[in-house]
Amino acid sequence: MKGVQVAAATTRRLPLVLGLVWLTGVMLLTCTAAGAQETTAPEPLVAQAKSVIQVWLWGGPPHLDTFDPKPEAGYDYCGPFNKPIETNVPGISIGQLLPQLAQQADKYSIIRSMTHGNNGHETAAYLVQTGHQPGERLVYPALGALVSRLKGYEGGYTGLVPPYIVLTAPQGRFDEAGFLGPRYKPFATGGDPNAKRFVVEGVVSEGITDERQRGRAELRSSLDLLQQLMPGLPQFAKLGAYREKAYEMILGDAGKLFDLSQEEDALRDRYGRNTFGQSCLMARRLVEAGVPYVTINYGGWDTHKQHFQAMRRKLPEMDKGMATLLQDLADHDLLDSTIVWWSGEFGRTPKVDWQPPWNGGRSHYGACFSAVVAGGGFKGGRVVGASDARGEQVAQRPVYPRDLLGSILELMGIDPEGPMPNSRGLDLKLMPSEGSPAEGTGRLREIM
């Protein structure tokens, strides 16, 4: 009977151990045979930024209600949000529901002339995050996957936590890693950082204490008779090393990294006691620990119906979390080395659809929208480009996704025109050519 009980205990715990080993192997394994076939990585530039925090507003945030207000356009365009507020930078106004961000405008620059003309969620998200047009024969990697490849474990990163993390769910309906492969996909934490305990997938288990985890580890070790019989086998040594790292993630300093209870209550309150606010705080902790790329996947912006009701909920939450993130990064001397990039896949239609069933909705709009960048070598207190009087078309200095992503790469010390690593030996660049030399195209030199 005891033998049966031991076998049952082993069976129950085997998936846990295998899961931990798999998780650690995915996050820590560097390229071996596959890496040997890749093209040579580009020579690094002098990096000003060490990390990127991408605030990804899935669904498309409205530029007229946030960073490009147009009060003179009238009610059919502004609705009830026709009173923009001045920021702490003379001459720059933003939406009336962003008072805290108005006091941080000296830390960020607004791009009011983003454009790509694509109105589909999946295709626009792919375009904004890769810089490449959808429909090409290759599926290119998103910016986070590129940074993970070039600045992650193969680029000198030694942290136990993965180099590309998403809080809390993957940020798009496309393959973020593209042809680079699953090794460079983001580690999506799952869970809710605003919960009493942030239950991180594979790292923190709800209702299981550290003491119980240690007990499980000791039990597993005592039941591993095969390794005890063949202790010198190299495969077992490697497996044991992965297992040690897996438990270090759970029980060591890496596991503590996800414990937001270590932060002061007053600071957590300033961020906002909600998923987005606490995700912003978690992002600061991750870049402070050296993680190169963190995405906050902030959904709820696809407001076809009752748009203004949704904005009255979403914008104050965003205002509080993002403004506190900028100030907190500055307070920790991290803003100069951390790029903060705020964007969605497109904007929303400037003209409001008041008819049923939309009842005051905004639809997808890729012709002209806004993005915000801060830190890591980007200047603050600036505006790049301009939209027309109704926010419908770019009036000055069009900025394409490749221009923005190329600027971020350059500040990370990565040549945007350098070779794209790939296992096929293809002659590819990280970013497509800047194209026409016409005025208003190219990387964001004016704020770099």
Residue 40 lies in a domain: no
Is residue 231 domain-shared with residue 317, that is, in the same domain?
Answer: no
Is residue 320 domain-shared with residue 214, that is, in the same domain?
Answer: no
Q: Is the pTM of this model over 0.85?
A: no
Is residue 169 domain-shared with residue 92, that is, in the same domain?
Answer: yes
pLDDT score at 6: 38
Is residue 248 domain-shared with residue 274, that is, in the same domain?
Answer: no
Cβ 165 vs Cβ 187: under 8 Å: yes
Number of other CB atoms surrounding residue 244 within 10 Å:
12
Q: For the packed helices 2-28 and 234-251, what is the interaxial angle rounded to 10 degrees?
A: 80
Taking the C-alpha atoms of residue 311 and residue 361, their distance in angstroms, rounded to an integer, is 11
Taking the C-alpha atoms of residue 281 and residue 276, their distance in angstroms, rounded to an integer, is 9
List strand residue ranges (DSSP E) for 162-300, in order.
Answer: 164-167, 187-188, 293-297
Is residue 242 domain-shared with residue 376, that is, in the same domain?
Answer: no
State both tokens at 308: 């203004």
Is residue 166 domain-shared with residue 243, that is, in the same domain?
Answer: no
Cα pseudo-dihedral 127, 130, 134, 140, rounded to 10 = -170
pLDDT score at 212: 56
Tell me the residue range of the domain where 2 lies: 1-30+208-257
Three-state secondary-structure class, residue 136: coil
Q: Give Cβ neighbours of residue 230 (< 8 Å, ≥ 6 apart).
A: 236
Residue 330 lies in a domain: yes
Number of domains within the chain: 2
Q: 10-residue block means of pLDDT along the chain (448 residues)?
A: 40 40 44 40 68 96 97 96 97 97 98 96 94 90 95 89 91 81 90 90 61 51 53 57 53 75 96 98 96 96 95 97 98 97 97 92 97 97 97 95 95 93 87 59 90
The contacts found for 236-239 with CB under 8 angstroms, 24 or more apart, are: 239/21
State both tokens at 396: 């000055």
Which of 224, 240, 257 terminates a domain? The answer is 257
Is residue 391 domain-shared with residue 311, that is, in the same domain?
Answer: yes
Taking the C-alpha atoms of residue 240 and residue 234, their distance in angstroms, rounded to an integer, is 10
Is residue 121 domain-shared with residue 168, that is, in the same domain?
Answer: yes
Taking the C-alpha atoms of residue 45 and residue 134, their distance in angstroms, rounded to an integer, is 29
Spell 411-426 as b/e; 16+ CB within 10 A means b. bbbbbbebbbbbbeee
